[in-house]
Structure 1
Amino acid sequence: MTKRSFPTRIRMTFLTLVAAVSCAASPTALVQASEPTTALQLFEERIMPIFRSPNPSSCVQCHLSSVDIKDYILPSHTETFLALRADGLVDVEAPEQSKILTLIQMGEKDSDPLAKRIHEKTRKAEYEAFSAWIKACCSDPDLVSRSAPEQLAAVGPAKPIEVVRHARKSRVLEAFTRNVWSQRMRCFPCHTPDEMDADNPKHQKPAERHGELVKTYGARMNLFRETPEATLAALVASSRKQNGKTFPLINLREPAKSLLVLKPTAKLPPKQDDGTLGKPSSTDPVSHMGGIKMHVDDHSYKLFVAWLEDYAAVVGDQYATADELPSDNWIPTQRILRVKGTPADWKPGSVVQLFVHGKDSSGNWSPDPVAFTQSVVTPRGMVNGALLVIASNLGPDQELTDDAFPLVPGEYMVKAYVDTAGKIKASPSHLLDASDFAGQAVIQAKWLIGFPQAETFEGARLEK
């Protein structure tokens, strides 16, 4: 049988059909076939959709507020490139190493695998769009040689870099670890299942108690998880499920009315007619089956509220300048500072703050304290408080952990301040000032751990 060929017209139609089917079966091939070739086309088709999108960018993976990839885009293709280049965000010699691409890829270093996975698609789309557009721009000699106009609009976050960094999730987590996670043993054993050791005989009864509570109230008893990261994630997730009937664990509108602090400062529920305790309440008035574990004037409460207020401000994008940022550098320790025999005009129940000052390189007392504590005057005329180290006032070579305590034994000045105007009640994270000064004394301190070894001095030594 002789071989017969298709007529030319039929053969061309067949080949066209095959090509069409191949493109339909390969979306990548179709995209490549229609991919724009100029930087302007890439900007209009891939960058501007990001700029116009109402959805948050991949920046939210690392930042709770204050920055978005849209901040780096101007309506004009040319001005966007020139502005990015002027700020050092585009590397004309090595486009693939441009800083803007590095910033987009920061999410790849996220230690949270879930967040990494959730934002992967958005991050990849942004990276590929900017990468293609920057390469095209850097391949355009006219654009690369163009000088930036004097009135060129700036790119990047509108807020100061200090505010942007303060809103990073890693910074928020670090503050949570210092201020809240560090105090978790106040909630042992009811809310700290991972702190119980099955091999420790002393933990047998606490473990039984915890098991009974979980059986009665459910897994919500497990407030503190295995790690600070898991704990914070659980607190945030729980607080999003508000029913309007109970206070949330984290109250963004009124931080001091978060269950995280309302519960440990609440009393037992009232007794019923049969003499047994009623059910604990998560509404006003809040009651706590564990009773009072924290007083509203002690250092732990101050740490909790300071973090809650800061978290609410960060999430609400409320900080506008660096001056508005909190100190955010208190490190709780197990060193106790005590005043014994307080002055007669310090009424029981009054809130007192004690600030510790060291000496500067010239041997003079530094005006900036290196640590402080807060507590109330007891009926027996004492003030006891765990020391909070103020990290920003330490030297560059001093460690910032409790295990390597940064204050060496020696001579220190303690300045006392008494809140006679109710400032701390109005603002729990407030630090008293010169108008509240109540005296000072020089002490010799060893800074040993625990209440039995508290650094103690007589109130009569305080001089104004």
Structure 2
Amino acid sequence: MPIFKSPNPSSCVQCHLAGVDLKDYIRPSHQQTFAALRDQGLIDLEHPERSKILHLITMGEQDLDKGARLIHAKARNAEYEAFAAWIKACCRDPELQSLVAGPADAVVGPDRPLPVIRHARKDRLLDSFVRNIWSQRMRCFPCHTPHELDSEKAASGKAGERYANLKRQYGARMDLFKASPRETMRQLIVSSRSRSEKHLPLINVGEPANSLLVLKPTSKLPPKTDGGEPGTPSSLPPVSHGGGLKMHVDDQSYKAFLAWIQDYANLVQDRYASEEDLPEDNWFPTDCVLRVRGTPESWPALTTVQLFVHRWDDDQKAWQSDPLAFTQAIVTPRGMVNGALFLIRSQQDDPIDDPAAMLPPGRYLVKAYVDARKRLRENPTALLNDQPSDAEAVVQAQWRTGFPNAEVIPGEQFQPVNEDVEESRSTSGDA
């Protein structure tokens, strides 16, 4: 009952951001609790010490985050000892062993479906952080990535000097990215819990798009002073960035950053009630770059375009309906669309150890979706391939890595989608 009545969250918060609390497994009376736990297989009558509920309580001991294990150890041990003693006593009581649970008391546990509970695990959130934000950290080099500096490289020498000067001027806030993604994510979350009138939070749970984590890299340099000196960057609207523009609100990095922030905000506010509410969270970064040079006239400058890559299916003799990868960017005034690819993986697919291996050289279909209706302004994390494509091109791609080795498609190679193109492209894989 002390656990049931406690206003504090249980040790479940060590591994779960939402959806689970030990109180969910406790009914108003110990008789109801015992019967429900027993009937759901969470209590082992013959071997009380092997009860599944005890195993669930100790799951935090397997956490790879040593700091979290230490922080929650006291609460976790107290919970374990209380439940273990109570279960052992109950299993010796013949009346409790034969007690029949009423319909209203038969179920204990979280009221969220299992996929939602799994999605709210911190290790799942960390995996998403690695793919969506940590993978893009070199956009912030060298000012916010001290652990990426290499003293043995001449280029890092100048970068190191720049970082050192900024560190002296602005202090610890320059160290945005720590030595590991786990440390980085934890620090971003902790620092964003404190509110200040002097700056917006790095992660703005109430307004994800107003998080400094995306506002800073998409902001320009501060205006110069009257004397022509560099101005002081602002962390309040209008936000300015001492490093200038590092990403655009229409490119794939911004999309990845904001997708993660929105997901985290929804988790901590417990907004996911069903599996249908969950985001796909299935983007995997690559170093393969897709570039369209000399875009068609039907793609207006400064309009966002999403490019989806489809593989040829030798068995079906057709292009695969589900895309393998995508990127997005604005059409530059010089008629170029340029972006690194994100692989798209279904939840059933095996984990990706080598993203480059998923893009072997070969013939591919690239579908272009022009955001003429500004759908991405309303939902920046949306994918536009739920509608017919605007143009398509068949390419023989090598998929080398790095922007200097981008896969370039001439704009005239894209054909507007109409019935003739739709009919002919089904066999163009062998062309």
The 5 A counterparts of 1:16-415 are 48-360=1-313, 362-392=316-346, 395-396=349-350, 400-402=352-354, 404-415=356-367
Letter in 2 for 1:211: A
CA distance in 1 between counterparts of 2:188 and 2:272 reads: 23
**Alignment check: 8 A CA contact 2:282 2:347 kept:** no
How many residues were matched structurally?
415
Q: Structure 2 counterpart of 1:333, which letter?
A: T
User: What amino acid is aligned across from residue 174 of structure 1 in structure 2?
Assistant: D
Distance 1:458 1:194 in 2: 39
Q: 1:432 aligns with which of 373, 381, 384?
A: 384
Deviations 1:132-170 (A, max 9, x none): 121222223343244444554411110111111111111
Output the amino acid matched with 1:386. A
Structure 2: distance between partners of 1:120 and 1:278 = 48
- Residue in 1 aligned with 2:420? none
Q: Deviations over 1:189-242 (max 9, x none)?
A: 111111011122221111011111111111211111111111112212221221
8 Å Cα contact 1:268/1:289 also seen in 2: yes
Structure 2 residues without counterparts, runs of 5 or longer? 418-431
- Asked if 2 retains the 8 angstrom alpha-carbon contact of 1:419 and 1:436, the reply is no
CA contact (8 A) 1:250 1:260 kept: yes
| Distance in 2 separating the partners of 1:436 and 1:81 | 56
Partner residue of 1:446 out of 398, 413, 431: 398
Gaps of 5+ in 1: 1-47
Q: Which residue of 2 aligns with 1:457?
A: 409
What is the CA distance between 1:251 and its match in structure 2? 0.8
Cα 1:411–1:206 change in 2 (3 A) is same
Normalising by structure 2, report the TM-score: 0.92
Report the counterpart of residue 419 of structure 1 in structure 2.
371
Q: In structure 2, what is the equivalent of residue 29 of structure 1?
A: none
Shift of 1:387: 0.3
Asked whether the 8 Å contact 1:163–1:325 carries over to 2, the reply is yes
CA distance, structure 2, for counterparts of residue 395 and residue 316 of structure 1: 29
Cα pair 2:292 2:409 within 8 Å, conserved: yes
Which residue does 1:22 correspond to in 2?
none
Contact kept in structure 2, 1:65 and 1:317, CA below 8 Å:
yes
SS at match of 1:342: coil
Report which of the two structures shows the higher radius of gyration computed on alpha carbons: 1
Deviation (angstroms), 1:125 = 1.1
The root-mean-square deviation of aligned C-alpha atoms, in Å, is 1.8
The alpha carbon displacement at 1:78 in A equals: 2.5
Per-residue CA shift, 1:31-50, capped at 9, x if unaligned?
xxxxxxxxxxxxxxxxx111
- Which stretch of structure 1 is more off in the superposition, 205-214 or 338-347? 338-347
Residue aligning to 2:427: none
Distance in 2 between the 1:335 and 1:209 partners? 29
Could you tell me how far apart the structure 2 residues matched to 1:432 and 1:404 are? 24
C-alpha separation between the residues in 1 aligned to 2:88 and 2:375?
A: 58
C-alpha contact 2:286 2:356 (8 A) present in aligned 1:
no
**Cα distance in structure 2, aligned partners of 1:156 and 1:412:** 48
Q: What amino acid does structure 2 have at the position aligned with 1:305?
A: L
Q: Which residue of 2 aligns with 1:41?
A: none
Query: CA–CA distance in 2 between the matches of 1:295 and 1:436?
Result: 26
| Comparing 167-176 and 75-84, the one that deviates more | 75-84
1:457 partner letter: I
Equivalent AA in structure 1 for residue 336 of structure 2: M
